[in-house]
């Protein structure tokens, strides 16, 4: 059963079209990835889904309720964790949870048990009596998420929850998402521009760029879009911009990426000839220390479909 239906959503800010006819649905209990680079339109889409801004065209249904004509029922199903922190700094995590829980209408024993559950799931039990302003950025973000789940929402929307977060808090967030998905059958929409996070967590993924759908489906389907091509990785000594440029122009090379440790990855098709690449390396006075084939990642899918990296 679909818990979210996004139908033909388009949005303009003045003359700029930032969402162009977006369509997808999210199944109950699934962890759904919404991925795209900065400025792709993810936050705008979430703001429309949660009725914080209006769309120019199309509609969104949450749990069968239209978000514009039936906003109270639609919003009662949603726990939203926005990019900006929304916690009270001068009180403790426990008091934050008590305050926001009361706003949700929770009280007495139920409120206490939900607070304890949220503290346990977010791994904040040890710091529950510390002032929030003394906590790390990652802990504050975990508190933000803990607040959003107090009410056991059917749908939890997390907008880039790991930006600026330390690795320990990142792991907590991942484990927590998996846990509530399994134990509470919570549906999760997870936005990110980190492809590897989405690859790790999500069952289906919607890739968006410049307001348009680039691809949508499960990981195997998305990878099949580039499986017909192969990824060839070179570890290089004395790499240079000239070498990367010349690799880009070799016959059969569909895209090239280079990381900071002189690893050049090529997505190639059948017309690629390895000897062309070897000549190119030699002409550019570089040296190959290793060559190997690799399975394409979702990052490669994005590069292949759009011609650019997610984090340019």
Q: Kindly state the smallest distance separating residue 284's Cβ from ligand ATP, in Å.
A: 36
146 and 94 Cβ atoms separated by less than 8 Å: no
Listed in sequence order, the residues at least 6 apart from 128 whose beta carbon sits closer than 8 Å to its beta carbon are: 92, 93, 94, 119
Q: Are 93 and 127 in contact (CB under 8 A)?
A: yes
Shortest gap between Cβ of 160 and ligand ATP (angstroms)?
6
In the complex, the smallest distance separating the C-beta of residue 13 from ligand ATP, rounded to whole angstroms, is: 3
160 or 197: whose CB is closer to ligand ATP? 160
Smaller CB separation from ligand ATP, 40 or 97: 40
Strands 204-209, 31-35: parallel, antiparallel or unpaired by DSSP? parallel
Taking the complex as a whole, the smallest distance from the CB of residue 32 to ligand ATP amounts, in Å, to 16
Q: Which is nearer to ligand ATP, 51 or 265 (CB)?
A: 51
Q: Which is nearer to ligand ATP, 112 or 212 (CB)?
A: 212
Nearest-approach distance from CB 10 to ligand ATP, in angstroms: 13
- Minimum Å gap between C-beta 82 and ligand ATP is 10
Rounded CA-CA distance 85/99 in Å is 16
State the Cα–Cα distance between residues 211 and 253, nearest whole angstrom.
Answer: 28
Nearest distance from C-beta of residue 208 to ligand ATP, angstroms = 7
DSSP secondary structure string, 123-178? Answer: T-GGGTTS-GGGS-HHHHHHHHHHHHHTT--SEEEEESTTTT--HHHHHHHHHHHH
What number of CA atoms fall less than 13 Å from residue 92's CA on the CB side?
A: 12
Asked if residues 94 and 115 have their Cβ atoms less than 8 Å apart, the reply is yes
Of 8 and 175, which CB lies nearer to ligand ATP in the complex structure? 8
Choose between 191 and 280: whose C-beta lies nearer to ligand ATP: 191
Which residues, in sequence order, are CB contacts of 61 under 8 Å at separation 6+?
A: 4, 5, 7, 67, 74
Contacts with ligand ATP by CB under 6 A lie at 13, 18, 36, 38-44, 160, 193
CA dist 25 and 6 (Å) reads 6
Tell me the backbone φ, ψ of residue 175, rounded to 5 degrees: -60, -40
Query: CB of 19: closest distance to ligand ATP in angstroms?
Result: 8
Question: Which CB, 41 or 123, lies closer to ligand ATP?
Answer: 41
- Whichever of 36 and 138 has its CB closer to ligand ATP, that residue is 36
């Amino acid at each position: 059963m679909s818990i979210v239906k996004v139908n033909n959503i388009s949005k303009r800010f003045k003359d700029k079209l930032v969402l162009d006819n977006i369509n997808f649905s999210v199944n109950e209990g699934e962890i759904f990835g919404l991925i795209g680079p900065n400025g792709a339109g993810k936050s705008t889409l979430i703001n429309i889904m949660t009725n914080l801004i209006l769309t120019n065209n199309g509609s969104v249904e949450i749990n069968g309720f239209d978000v514009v004509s039936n906003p109270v029922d639609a919003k009662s199903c949603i726990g939203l964790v926005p990019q900006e922190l929304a916690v009270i700094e001068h009180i403790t995590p426990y008091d934050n949870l008590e305050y926001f829980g009361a706003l949700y209408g929770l009280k007495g024993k139920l409120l206490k048990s939900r607070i304890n559950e949220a503290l346990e799931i977010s791994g904040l039990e040890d710091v529950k009596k510390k002032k929030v302003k003394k906590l790390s950025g990652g802990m504050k973000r975990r508190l933000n998420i803990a607040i959003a789940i107090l009410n056991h929402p059917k749908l939890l929307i997390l907008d880039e929850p790991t930006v600026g977060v330390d690795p320990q808090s990142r792991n907590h967030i991942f484990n927590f998402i998996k846990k509530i998905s399994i134990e509470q059958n919570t549906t999760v929409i997870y936005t990110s521009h980190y492809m590897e996070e989405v690859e790790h967590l999500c069952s289906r993924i919607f890739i968006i760029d410049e307001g348009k759908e680039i691809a949508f489906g499960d990981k195997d389907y998305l990878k099949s879009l580039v499986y017909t091509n192969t990824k060839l990785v070179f570890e290089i000594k004395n790499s240079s911009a000239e070498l990367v440029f010349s690799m880009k122009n070799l016959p059969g090379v569909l895209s090239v990426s280079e990381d900071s440790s002189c690893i050049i990855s090529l997505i190639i098709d059948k017309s690629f000839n390895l000897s062309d690449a070897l000549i190119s390396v030699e002409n550019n006075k570089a040296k190959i220390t290793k060559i190997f084939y690799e399975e394409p990642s979702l990052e490669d899918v994005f590069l292949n479909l759009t011609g650019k990296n997610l984090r340019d």
